[in-house]
């Protein structure tokens, strides 16, 4: 081969060598594993590490406390369902209210049995009003009372102190009778209320039963107040009775003194 | 031939020179990608991860930990302070023990018979009105009349006196009947009280309020019945007072009549 030919061949070989070296450099500069484009491989590594860290944190800082909270709440729910508010106990309490209802009705009916016993017309009228439990019948008590026990005697028949005592006694006796009618009516209403509250209890929940308990407690306070007012009336009746006894002693003393004085006068006239 | 070989070589060289230009294009393209852009992307991602992890560790993790603690504390508080199972069972045991200790004893005391009459009719009468049987109420007037006599006949006593006798008897019998009814309802109330106590033994803290409400209702019933008894007592006392007053009025009339008669006697010697 001639020299120029050899020279051309050498240049060709050199160009090929340069191209191969350039390609090798480019290949060498490129990453060995292509995970992403445009040279973001370090980001992927960081992202992987970050996501791993987040995953670990979610497991440790979030999932663990949440699991614990869920466990606590489950335990709490079980405790409440099995120990605090067991359904069988609640049902049993409701059933008891159902049983009580018939007992209450029976007792109310017992107190409604007729008990009147008078045989004569005038006492019958008074007794009827007294046992009626009807506050509307109160005006009839005054007339029936007067018909049976009479009215205050006329001034000619008794001295004024005696008339006062009699009037006071009649007044208290009538008031006590009226009070008896009044509290009978109130007691009937209390019995009705008790039955109604009991009906509510048959379907009540543990949470609502306390409201019904409060309502019943209010009724109890009311009932106690009425009982107290009846007791006060009873005390007044006894007081008037005591006052009458005292008045009787006073009248006796006065009569004895008058008798003694009259006796002395008669004896003095006899001596003369 | 030689010339043709040289021309071929020259053409190849020229072609190779053009290819070399293409080879440098990727290298130039790589160099043209701005390095700061890559740096900026990584910094942002790092910052984002930092924010997420710190949020997870701080506000979320901290709050969840607090919630876990509170939840556990509430749970413990409920189970150990408010509704400790041991105390619940102790209370149930106490109710059972109280029931066992007192129920029989109280039943025995309440069951003691107070009947004290000695004669035939009073014995019969007493056993009837202490029998707590409302079904016997109808028999009360007849046996009462046998023991206490009927109202005097019209020719024997004056109308006012007969009325007094009748109303006194009536109120007395009414009260005895009311007492019989009351005794019967007392038995029912004692049965209800027993049921309530049995319920209390088996009750849970949640159902105890229902039992308590039930007891309250029964209490109201008892109170109403007590009021009815008080009404009966008021009627008795009022009748007694009215009776005394009526006697006073009758004595006043009698005294006036006596005075008039004496004056008439003295006026006609």
Is residue B92 domain-shared with residue B121, that is, in the same domain? no
Establish if A190 belongs to a structural domain: yes
- Asked whether residue B92 is assigned to any structural domain, the reply reads yes
Contacts of residue A231, Cβ cutoff 8 Å, sequence gap at least 6: B230
Q: Tell me, what's the pLDDT at B31?
A: 56
- The Cα diameter of chain B in Å comes to 208
Cβ-in-10-Å burial (0-12, 13-18, 19+) of B33 comes to exposed
Residues 6+ apart with CB under 8 A from A16: B16
Condensed to tens digits (0 to 9), the pLDDT of residues A63-103 reads 888 888 888 889 999 999 999 999 999 999 999 999 999 99
Are A245 and A169 contacting, i.e. CB atoms less than 8 angstroms apart?
Answer: no
- Tokens (6 digits) for B8: 């071929």
Looking at the fold, whether B125 and B191 belong to one and the same domain comes out as yes
Task: Give the torsion sign (CA, A224, A230, A232, A234).
Answer: negative
Q: How far is residue A119's CA from residue A125's CA, in Å, rounded to a whole number? A: 10
Q: Is the dihedral of CA B133, B135, B138, B142 positive or negative?
A: negative
Residue carrying the six token digits 């109170």:
B223
CA–CA dist A85, B88 (Å, integer): 13
Say how many CB pairs under 8 Å bridge A and B.
393
Nearest of B115, B118, B112, B232 to residue B176 by alpha carbon: B232
Show residues of chain B in contact with A122, CB under 8 Å.
Answer: 163
Q: How far apart are CA B231 and CA B238, in angstroms?
A: 10
Angle, vertex CA A137, rays to CA A244 and CA B150, nearest 5: 60
Asked which of A10-24, A129-143, A258-272, B193-207 is least confident by mean pLDDT, the reply is A10-24
The reply to whether A136 falls in a domain is: no
Rounded to two decimals, what is the model's pTM? 0.76
B224 in Cβ contact with A187 (< 8 Å): yes
How many domains is chain B built from? 2
- In this structure, the answer to whether residues B158 and B259 fall within a common structural domain is yes
Within 8 A by CB and 6+ apart from A209, the residues are A93, A201, B209, B210, B212, B213
**DSSP state letter for A156:** T
B57 or A28, which is more confident: B57
pLDDT in tens, B122-140: 999 999 999 999 999 999 9
- In angstroms, rounded to a whole number, what is the distance separating the alpha carbons of residues A86 and A79? 9
In this structure, the answer to whether residues B137 and B243 fall within a common structural domain is yes
Query: Using CB atoms, which residue from A96, A145, A227 is nearest to B226?
Result: A227
More confident call, B18 vs A48: A48
In a domain, A256, yes or no: yes
Q: Which of residues 33-52 of B touch A (CB under 8 A)?
A: 33, 38, 41-42, 45-46, 48-49, 52
Give residue for tokens 């484009």: A37
**pLDDT higher at B201 or B5:** B201
CB B189 within 8 A of CB B222: yes
Does A238 map to a domain? Answer: yes
Substitution target in B201, B230, B236, B259 with the highest count of A β-carbons within 10 Å is B230
Distance (Å, whole) CA A171 – CA A168: 5
Cα distance between residue B149 and residue B159, in whole Å: 17
pLDDT tens digits, residue range A216-268? 999 999 999 999 999 999 999 999 999 998 888 888 888 888 899 998 988 88
- CA closest to A203 among chain B residues: B210
B155 and B238 share one domain: yes
Q: Say if B233 is an interface residue toward chain A (CB within 8 Å).
A: yes
Contact B171, A115 (CB under 8 A): no
Q: Where among B69, B97, B112 does a domain terminate?
A: B112
Can you tell me the distance from the alpha carbon of A242 to that of A123, in angstroms, rounded to the nearest whole number? 26
Q: Is the pLDDT assigned to residue B21 strictly greater than 60?
A: no
Chain B residues with CB inside 8 Å of A209's CB? 209-210, 212-213
Which residue, A128, A127, A113, A132, is CA-closest to B181?
A113
Residue A134 lies in a domain: no
Residues in chain B, overall count: 269
Domain count for chain A, please give it.
Answer: 1
User: Taking all residues of chain B, what is their mean pLDDT, rounded to a whole number?
Assistant: 86
| Same domain for B245 and B145 | yes
What is the rounded CA–CA span in Å between residue B170 and residue B131? 20
Do the domain assignments include residue B56?
no
Domain housing B178: 116-267
The answer to whether A233 touches A179, Cβ cutoff 8 Å, is yes
Establish if B197 touches chain A: CB-CB under 8 angstroms: no
The arithmetic mean of pLDDT across residues B236-260, rounded, is: 91
Residue of chain A minimizing CA distance to B223: A223
Residue B21, CB-side half-sphere exposure with 13 Å CA sphere: 5
Q: With beta carbons under 8 A apart, name residues in chain A contacting B235.
A: 130, 176-177, 180
- Residue A101 within a domain: yes
pLDDT, tens digit, 9 for 90 and up, residues B158-196: 899 999 999 999 999 999 999 999 999 999 999 999 999
One domain, residues B146 and B241: yes
Last residue of a domain, one of B112, B134, B169: B112
């Amino acid at each position: 081969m001639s020299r120029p030919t050899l020279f051309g061949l050498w240049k060709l070989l050199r160009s090929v060598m340069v191209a191969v070296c350039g390609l090798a450099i480019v290949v060498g500069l490129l990453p060995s594993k292509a995970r992403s484009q445009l040279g973001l491989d370090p980001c992927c590594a960081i992202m992987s590490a970050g996501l791993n860290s987040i995953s670990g944190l979610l497991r440790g800082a979030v999932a663990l406390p949440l699991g614990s909270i869920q466990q606590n709440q489950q335990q709490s729910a079980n405790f409440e369902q099995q120990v605090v508010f067991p359904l069988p106990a609640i049902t049993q309490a409701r059933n008891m209210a159902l049983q009580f209802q018939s007992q209450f009705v029976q007792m109310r009916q017992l107190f409604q049995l007729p008990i009147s016993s008078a045989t004569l017309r005038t006492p019958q009228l008074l007794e009827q009003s007294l046992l009626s439990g009807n506050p509307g019948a109160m005006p009839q008590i005054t007339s029936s009372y007067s018909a049976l026990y009479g009215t205050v005697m006329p001034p000619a028949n008794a001295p004024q102190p005696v008339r006062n005592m009699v009037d006071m006694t009649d007044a208290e006796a009538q008031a006590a009778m009226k009070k008896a009618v009044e509290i009978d009516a109130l007691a009937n209403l209390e019995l009705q209320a008790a039955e109604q509250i009991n009906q509510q209890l048959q379907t009540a929940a543990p949470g609502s039963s306390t409201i019904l308990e409060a309502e019943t407690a209010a009724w109890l306070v009311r009932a106690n107040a009425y009982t107290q007012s009846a007791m006060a009336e009873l005390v007044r009746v006894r007081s008037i009775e005591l006052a009458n006894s005292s008045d009787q002693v006073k009248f006796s003393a006065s009569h004895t003194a008058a008798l003694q004085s009259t006796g002395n006068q008669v004896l003095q006239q006899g001596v003369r | 031939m030689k010339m043709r070989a040289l021309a071929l070589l020259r053409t190849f060289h020229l072609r190779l020179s053009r290819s070399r230009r293409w080879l440098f294009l990727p290298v130039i393209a790589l160099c043209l990608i701005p390095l700061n852009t890559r740096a900026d992307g990584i910094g942002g991602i790092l910052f984002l991860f930092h924010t997420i992890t710190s949020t997870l560790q701080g506000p979320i993790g901290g709050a969840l930990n607090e919630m876990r603690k509170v939840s556990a504390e509430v749970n413990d508080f409920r189970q150990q302070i408010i509704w400790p199972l041991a105390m619940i069972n102790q209370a149930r045991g106490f109710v059972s023990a109280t029931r066992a200790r007192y129920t029989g004893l109280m039943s025995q005391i309440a069951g003691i018979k107070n009947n004290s009459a000695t004669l035939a009719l009073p014995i019969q009468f007493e056993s009837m009105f202490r029998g707590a049987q409302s079904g016997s109420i109808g028999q009360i007037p007849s046996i009462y009349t046998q023991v206490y006599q009927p109202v005097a006949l019209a020719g024997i006593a004056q109308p006012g006196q007969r009325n007094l006798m009748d109303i006194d008897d009536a109120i007395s019998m009414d009260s005895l009947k009311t007492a019989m009814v009351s005794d019967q309802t007392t038995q029912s109330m004692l049965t209800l009280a027993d049921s309530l106590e049995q319920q209390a033994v088996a009750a849970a803290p949640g159902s105890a309020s229902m039992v308590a409400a039930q007891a309250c209702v029964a209490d109201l019933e008892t109170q109403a019945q007590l009021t009815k008894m008080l009404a009966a007592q008021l009627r008795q006392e009022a009748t007694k007072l009215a009776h005394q007053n009526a006697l006073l009025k009758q004595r006043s009339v009698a005294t006036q009549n006596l005075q008039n008669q004496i004056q008439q006697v003295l006026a006609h010697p």
